[in-house]
Amino acid sequence: MFEVGDKVVYPHHGAGKVIRKEMKDVLGQSREYLTIQILYNEMTVMVPTENAEAAGLRSVIDEKAVDAVLAVLKDDGTQMPKNWNRRFKHNRDKIKTGDIFELAEVVRNLSIRDLDKGLSTGEKQMFARAKKILASELMYARDMSEDDAMEFLEGLLEEIGTERSDGGSGGSAGEDLDEALVD
């Protein structure tokens, strides 16, 4: 499924490159493993080839999907729980899916929340991590350097924030979600 040199995304960690595909004996079983060098934190992850799909490993998006991701970032925010614990869990669960569009929603919603009301310490850390994960995939998808990808994303969020504060969208990210929908 994946070969050495393929650019892939590992949920929770971001984009990376398959640097090895090899057989390893672990706990008495011989299995094929993919070794992935994760871009933004220089972590190395080993994933059994047979579990790659179940672990959420996927190929990096193409240019057409990049346009759709940018549209998500520019879209109005979605309603989020008022309680920061529930909001944090809601966003964490979206990041865990490994879906680039869910990740873009988290980045967008946290960006809007940061501008409107500020973020808790945990949300600030989540926001920084989510931006790094998103930038790592944009880097590969648009053939950019890591720094250029982060600058691109930061610039885009700043531009979107300026447009919103100038009376642009009137998004609903700051609105409270009905308790019945949250649980």
Residue located via tokens 């989020």: 80
Look at residue 182 in the predicted model and tell me its pLDDT. 34
CB atoms within 10 A of CB 142: 14
Domain boundary among 15, 38, 59: 59
Question: Residue 92: what pLDDT?
Answer: 93
Nearest of 47, 100, 115 to residue 69 by alpha carbon = 100
Look at 117 and 72; give whichever has higher pLDDT. 72
Here the CATH number for the domain that contains residue 18 is: 2.40.10.170
Q: Report the C-alpha gap between 172 and 130 in whole angstroms.
A: 21
- What integer pLDDT is reported at residue 170 of this predicted model? 44
Q: Is residue 118 situated within a structural domain?
A: yes
Query: What integer best gives the mean pLDDT of the chain?
Result: 86
pLDDT digits (tens, 9 = 90+) for 86-136: 989 999 999 988 899 999 999 999 999 998 888 889 999 999 999 999 999
Question: In the predicted model, is pLDDT for residue 164 greater than 50?
Answer: yes
Q: Does 52 share its domain with 67?
A: no
Identify the domain containing residue 29 by its residue range.
7-59
Shared-domain flag, residues 74 and 147? yes
**CATH number of the structural domain spanning residue 114:** 1.20.58.1290
User: Is 82's pLDDT higher than 70?
Assistant: yes
Q: Please tell me whether residues 103 and 44 are part of one structural domain.
A: no
The per-residue pLDDT for 181 is 31
Please name the residues in contact with 119: beta carbons below 8 A apart, sequence gap of 6 or more: 110, 113, 127
pLDDT of residue 168: 55
Shared domain for 48 and 136, answered yes or no, is: no
Say if 1 falls within a structural domain: no
- Rounded to an integer, the average pLDDT of 143-159 is 93
Higher pLDDT residue, 165 or 20?
Answer: 20
pTM (global) more than 0.85: no
